[in-house]
Amino acid sequence: MGKFTNEAKQLLEFVGGKENISAVTHCVTRMRFVLADPAKADTEKIEKLACVKGTFTQAGQFQVIIGNDVTDFYNDFTALSGTGAASKDEVKQAAKSNMSFIQRLMANIAEIFSPLIPALIVGGLVLGFRNVIGDVKMFEEGTKSLVEISQFWAGIHSFLWLIGEAIFHFLPVGIVWAITKKMGTTQILGIVLGITLVSPQLLNAYAVTGGGDIPFWDFGFATVDMIGYQGQVIPAILAGFTLVYLEKGLRKISPSSISMIIVPFFALIPAVLIAHTVLGPIGWTIGAWISTVVYSGLTSSFGWLFAGVFGFVYAPLVITGLHHMTNAIDLQLIAEFGGTSLWPMIALSNIAQGSAVLAMVFLQRKNEEAKQVNIPACISAYLGVTEPALFGVNLKYMFPFLCGMTGSAIAAIISVSSNAMANSIGVGGLPGILSMQTASMASFALAMGVAIVVPFVLTYIFGKRKLQG
């Protein structure tokens, strides 16, 4: 008999029995179910189980927060229920049957960018650290940076750009690879296609100007500009899906005896040609249009209104999964304007939801069961991961969620009104200040203060009434 046999037996009953489970797996802290009929799950009874920290539904999956013991719980659950172990990919695939078209579209976008997040976080931290040592004038009466007075730190500053460039300039390689990985096609072909978009043979995208000479390939009857797509998102996405559909189409019609030769050759070469002649210029234009519209909105006289709305609705977007769309917009803004005003607001939303949970920590400090959920959720949100805070605490009581949204909106207005911009994305929550451009750190720090104080005070005031009423 396992440690969680009794709780597992109860959970099996409350989710609707074995026949209601299409697939089940687990992640670091949660059991992840795909249920044949989600309505059969009795969430109230499930959340009363001693080992359960909360429940929520996302991306077609019914998720039960267990905590650090989730592996042991999962083993006891599968042994009891007889449900076979499923991979995360299998669960995701099964979950799509419970999703609308929009939800499936967002899930696909999320699956493209999710593998890139660790690299983007590293890149954000690297660029942030370079900002601090290279741009902040904190020595010799505020006239010199650390790099200017120390050869060692000057060397570190230069060396770290090796990593920053690899992540952000060569981002298309990662995007095309992620697409081929997700779609189940040949990943090395995706990597090669991505490299052709950022090859040193091409004019660097960051060097393209209206008055400069652009090299070109001359085919006699036509010429093609030799322009790279460093940091570009949409051209890489379009090129990646073109390669995928060419490869899949060729595999269907190619004899198996020669498919190893025919498919890679006739998939990769046309994909590269189409990418540079059609998709690259179109994607660049679309990306430039999107980034210009967003940038113009943020810097217009009504930018504060856009900021307030975005700051208020970002947390609900996380619940729906639509927030993944902002990754592409952020990256496009960085490529086009050298920075993004969206990411600071995202980091502030993380902080605001974490501060609402912090207030709940104080309000429920005598509740040992609540503390086990509240404290880890607060820490996680302050570090940029808000799902435990949202689903485990704030949505459960609702008023902390609304207080967090309010604080986020006010902080976003301050951030945009002061033209706070980030050099990179990936580093959210309190560490997000490291992603800020040097000139924006002070104003972002002020917005951070608002994102900490306002949700905490509002949640504490309303909590006093709600929890004691």
Evaluate if residue 279 carries a pLDDT over 80. Answer: yes
pLDDT single digits (tens) 121-143: 787 778 778 877 887 777 887 78
Listing DSSP states for 12-42 in one string gives HHHTT-GGGEEEEEE-SSEEEEEES-GGG--
Evaluate if residue 20 carries a pLDDT over 90. Answer: no
Which of residues 269, 287, 305 is at a domain's end? 287
Q: Report pLDDT for 85.
A: 55
Confidence class of residue 105 from pLDDT cuts 50, 70 and 90?
A: low
What's the token pair of residue 201? 């043979």
Residue 312 lies in a domain: yes
Nearest by Cα to 177 from 100, 127, 129, 113 = 113
Evaluate if residue 469 carries a pLDDT over 70. Answer: no
Residue 105 lies in a domain: no
Please tell me whether residues 278 and 129 are part of one structural domain: yes
pLDDT single digits (tens) 287-305: 778 777 888 888 888 888 9
Measured between alpha carbons, how far is 8 from 30 in angstroms, rounded to an integer?
13
Please tell me whether residues 232 and 316 are part of one structural domain: no
29-38, 55-64, 398-407: range with lowest mean pLDDT: 55-64
Phi, psi at 462, each rounded to 5°:
-65, -35
**How many CA atoms, within 13 angstroms, populate the side-chain half-sphere of residue 334?**
29
What's the token pair of residue 186? 């040949």
Residue 108 lies in a domain: no
Please tell me whether residues 184 and 38 are part of one structural domain: no
Q: Report pLDDT for 182.
A: 84
What's the token pair of residue 215? 């090299």
Find the length of the chain: 469
What's the token pair of residue 356? 């609402």
What's the token pair of residue 74? 């999962």
Residue 419 lies in a domain: yes
18-22, 144-148, 246-250, 327-331: range with lowest mean pLDDT: 327-331
pLDDT single digits (tens) 314-340: 888 777 656 666 777 888 788 778 888
Please tell me whether residues 245 and 176 are part of one structural domain: yes
Q: Would you please indicate which residues are annotated as catalytic (active-site) residues?
A: 27
Q: Report pLDDT for 176.
A: 94
Q: Report pLDDT for 106.
A: 62
pLDDT single digits (tens) 342-396: 889 999 999 999 999 999 999 988 887 778 778 888 888 898 878 778 877 888 7
Evaluate if residue 100 carries a pLDDT over 70. Answer: no
Higher pLDDT among residues 287 and 105, named by residue: 287
Evaluate if residue 29 carries a pLDDT over 80. Answer: no
Please tell me whether residues 339 and 444 are part of one structural domain: yes
Please tell me whether residues 210 and 234 are part of one structural domain: yes
Domain count, the chain: 3
Residue range 148-176: average pLDDT?
Answer: 89
Residue range 403-427: average pLDDT?
Answer: 90
Residue range 196-221: average pLDDT?
Answer: 80
Helix, strand and coil in the chain, % to nearest 5: 70, 5, 25
Confidence class of residue 205 from pLDDT cuts 50, 70 and 90?
A: confident
Higher pLDDT among residues 55 and 307, named by residue: 307
CATH number at residue 13: 3.30.1360.60
Q: Report pLDDT for 386.
A: 81
Please tell me whether residues 341 and 399 are part of one structural domain: yes
Three-state DSSP state, 22: strand
**How many CA atoms, within 13 angstroms, populate the side-chain half-sphere of residue 455?**
36
Going by their DSSP bridges, the two strands 21-26 and 223-225 should be labelled as unpaired
Confidence class of residue 1 from pLDDT cuts 50, 70 and 90?
A: low
Please tell me whether residues 251 and 185 are part of one structural domain: yes
Which of residues 48, 70, 99 is at a domain's end? 99
Which of residues 34, 69, 99 is at a domain's end? 99
DSSP 276: I
Evaluate if residue 45 carries a pLDDT over 50. Answer: yes
Q: Report pLDDT for 438.
A: 83
Please tell me whether residues 266 and 122 are part of one structural domain: yes
Higher pLDDT among residues 136 and 182, named by residue: 182
Three-state DSSP state, 26: strand
Measured between alpha carbons, how far is 466 from 400 in angstroms, rounded to an integer?
11
Q: Report pLDDT for 87.
A: 46
Give the CA distances from residue 106 to residues 162, 214, 318, 401, in Å, rounded to whole numbers and listed in that order: 32, 37, 11, 23
Q: Report pLDDT for 433.
A: 87
49-63, 169-183, 406-420: range with lowest mean pLDDT: 49-63
Domain with 45, as residue range(s), is 5-99
Q: Report pLDDT for 90.
A: 54
Please tell me whether residues 95 and 120 are part of one structural domain: no
Confidence class of residue 211 from pLDDT cuts 50, 70 and 90?
A: low
Residue 107 lies in a domain: no
Residue 157 lies in a domain: yes
Contact 209, 186 (CB under 8 A): no
Mean pLDDT of the chain: 83
Listing DSSP states for 358-370 in one string gives HHHHHHTTT-HHH
Evaluate if residue 96 carries a pLDDT over 70. Answer: no
Q: Report pLDDT for 385.
A: 77
Contact 34, 60 (CB under 8 A): yes
pLDDT single digits (tens) 253-278: 988 888 888 999 999 999 999 999 99
Please tell me whether residues 247 and 377 are part of one structural domain: no
Please tell me whether residues 140 and 270 are part of one structural domain: yes
Residue 111 lies in a domain: no
Residue 444 lies in a domain: yes
